[in-house]
């Protein structure tokens, strides 16, 4: 960010806080920088994951980034009133065996609907390889019965299969 842009944005934020909120800052940001957020969630009860009580704020999102959090943030192309709903950071599942389930449903819908955004897999030996010949045959047979062809023998092969878009059930 250029120094001039930083100084301008900082002064806008400071001025907004002097007037008891960031509505002024949001509107000035919008007029000076000519940008609108893609999505603004109004009145979300935000839990930051620290154990602190939630607080009702607006959250602006542009692209795949949260760009503002506060009261009266900039306008959005789409705005949703989410009062009464909770908004929290994604959850991390530190002990998951979901890697091979991605072969059945590569969208991981059951996890995402629970708020899980990161899973740690393969931490206890129940992983996607490398496999001995016997382990490979047993795994291939187990998944073939579920309509999925296992055609990899190690983590690199699993990732390569996903990169090629072959993760969905056939």
pLDDT tens for 22-38 read 444 445 455 445 568 99
**Dihedral of CA 92/159/151/126: which sign?**
negative
What pLDDT, on the 0 to 100 scale, is given for residue 23?
47
Residue 3: in which H helix or E strand, if any? helix 3-18
| Distance, CA of 141 to CA of 149 (rounded, Å) | 9
Of 164 and 73, the structure prediction assigns the larger pLDDT to 73
- Kindly list the domain boundaries of the chain, sorted by start residue: 3-87, 91-163
Selection from 108, 89, 86 nearest residue 97 by Cα:
108
Domain 3-87 has CATH 1.10.10: no
Assigned token pair, 68: 């503002």
Distance of CA 15 to the CA centre of its chain: 32
How high does pLDDT run on average in the chain? 77
Q: What is the mean pLDDT of residues 164-170?
A: 47
Is the pLDDT confidence value at 52 over 70? yes
* pLDDT at 169 (0 to 100): 42
pLDDT in the model for residue 13 = 43
- pLDDT tens, residue by residue, 114-142: 888 888 887 776 778 788 999 999 989 98
Q: pLDDT tens digits, residue range 2-18?
A: 555 444 444 444 433 33
pLDDT, residue 34, reads 54
């Amino acid at each position: 960010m250029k120094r001039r842009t930083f100084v301008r944005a900082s002064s806008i934020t400071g001025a907004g806080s002097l007037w008891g909120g960031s509505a002024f800052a949001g509107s000035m940001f919008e007029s000076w920088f000519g940008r609108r957020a893609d999505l603004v969630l109004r009145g979300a009860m935000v839990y930051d994951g620290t154990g602190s009580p939630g607080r009702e704020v607006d959250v602006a999102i542009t692209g795949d980034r949260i760009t503002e959090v506060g009261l009266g943030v900039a306008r959005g192309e789409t705005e949703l009133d989410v009062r009464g709903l909770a908004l929290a950071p994604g959850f991390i599942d530190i002990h998951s065996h979901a890697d091979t389930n991605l072969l059945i449903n590569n969208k991981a819908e059951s996890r995402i609907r629970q708020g899980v955004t990161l899973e740690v897999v393969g931490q206890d030996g129940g992983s996607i390889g490398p496999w001995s010949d016997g382990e490979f045959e047993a795994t291939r047979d187990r998944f073939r019965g579920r309509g999925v062809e296992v055609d990899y023998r190690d983590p690199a092969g699993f990732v390569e299969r996903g990169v090629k878009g072959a993760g969905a059930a056939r």
